[in-house]
A = this chain, B = another copy of it.
């Protein structure tokens, strides 16, 4: 499909099947038979999301497995060693993600994140292979400009091969997310990739690229596929709708993906209604194709010098899902 990077989750692989077992199979590339680039997250986001079954201290996080309740501890050093075992091309620093709008909590998490980044880098230099695995740092600071600026300074001081903007798409409005990106991205070095973690929807990819982001990751295309939704230029399509039962068009006329080249909306709706696994496959394939095509087109438009027009046109046509754009004040596309 032309994907240039695949994300694997450190938290999930650490618990099952275990990072040492993955290492025994030659790393995550060989384990899943994918020879393209792979990125692993640090496991931090999932662990912090565990809520009541995790406890944070200065050195790391103690938590219980969501699978069997067993007790585990993740530290900056441990996260890096797990990511060494998994063997991805890009590995992420272990950071603390908190409510982006609570200044006190954000500030405390920021200090910890910066201290932990030093520990991650030291562990990577000590036991890792920085030529083979690139460690990216993560900028935090919630929606507060001054904290973001402070974080960029602290994180970029390590002169890392890439940087992520973390702590967004976790509860703030889209306007706040776009505003934070607009402020933060230009502060990052222009010659290093910038990665917006956990994003996102088609409109967020466009708004993110407009603000200087290069890399994204999100479960959205495959998660909504399993719920029967397809991405199109006009917005999200709920394939369960009765109107598609008799529809002979492909999901999106003109789309070159296998699902659209082969099947009608009527057939795919039938598969969704009948809970056929093929529905999940075809919609996942189409949605990934849609986002990968969008990214390809944006890259081409940037090289052509026509990105602003491209973005304006895409956003004029694409109707985001109602209720997800509250507070968005159509920020400039730069």
User: Measured between alpha carbons, how far is A281 from B279 in the docked complex, in Å?
Assistant: 12
User: What's the nearest-Cβ distance from chain B to residue A299, in Å?
Assistant: 29
B267 with A16: CB separation less than 8 A: no
B16 with A270: CB separation less than 8 A: yes
Cβ-defined partner of A245 (8 Å) among B17, B269, B270, B274? B17
A33 proximal to B (CB < 8 A)? yes
The interface residues of chain B lying within 8 Å CB-to-CB of A33 are 262-263, 267
Closest residue of B by beta carbon distance from A264:
B25
A167 proximal to B (CB < 8 A)? no
Q: Which residues of A contact B (CB under 8 A)?
A: 12, 16-17, 21, 24-25, 31-33, 245-246, 248, 262-264, 266-267, 269-270, 273-274, 277, 280-281
B262 with A17: CB separation less than 8 A: no
User: Measured between alpha carbons, how far is A246 from B269 in the docked complex, in Å?
Assistant: 40
The interface residues of chain B lying within 8 Å CB-to-CB of A262 are 33
User: Measured between alpha carbons, how far is A33 from B269 in the docked complex, in Å?
Assistant: 15
The DSSP consensus for interface residues of chain A is helix
A17 with B270: CB separation less than 8 A: yes
User: Measured between alpha carbons, how far is A16 from B280 in the docked complex, in Å?
Assistant: 18
A273 with B25: CB separation less than 8 A: no
Copies in the complex: 2
Given A21-B266, A24-B246, A277-B277, 10 extra CB contacts under 8 A: A17-B245, A17-B266, A17-B269, A17-B270, A25-B266, A31-B264, A31-B267, A33-B263, A277-B280, A281-B281
A277 with B281: CB separation less than 8 A: yes
A246 with B21: CB separation less than 8 A: yes
A267 with B32: CB separation less than 8 A: yes
User: What's the nearest-Cβ distance from chain B to residue A127, in Å?
Assistant: 24
The interface residues of chain B lying within 8 Å CB-to-CB of A31 are 264, 266-267, 270
B17 with A248: CB separation less than 8 A: no
User: Measured between alpha carbons, how far is A264 from B21 in the docked complex, in Å?
Assistant: 13
Closest residue of B by beta carbon distance from A15:
B274
User: Measured between alpha carbons, how far is A262 from B264 in the docked complex, in Å?
Assistant: 31
A–B Cβ pairs within 8 angstroms, 25 of them: A12-B274, A16-B270, A16-B274, A17-B245, A17-B266, A17-B269, A17-B270, A21-B245, A21-B246, A21-B266, A24-B246, A25-B248, A25-B266, A25-B267, A31-B264, A31-B266, A31-B267, A31-B270, A32-B263, A33-B262, A33-B263, A33-B267, A277-B280, A277-B281, A281-B281
User: Measured between alpha carbons, how far is A269 from B18 in the docked complex, in Å?
Assistant: 13
User: What's the nearest-Cβ distance from chain B to residue A40, in Å?
Assistant: 16
The 4 closest A-B pairs by CB, nearest first: A17-B270, A33-B262, A31-B267, A277-B280
User: What's the nearest-Cβ distance from chain B to residue A196, in Å?
Assistant: 26
User: Measured between alpha carbons, how far is A31 from B32 in the docked complex, in Å?
Assistant: 33
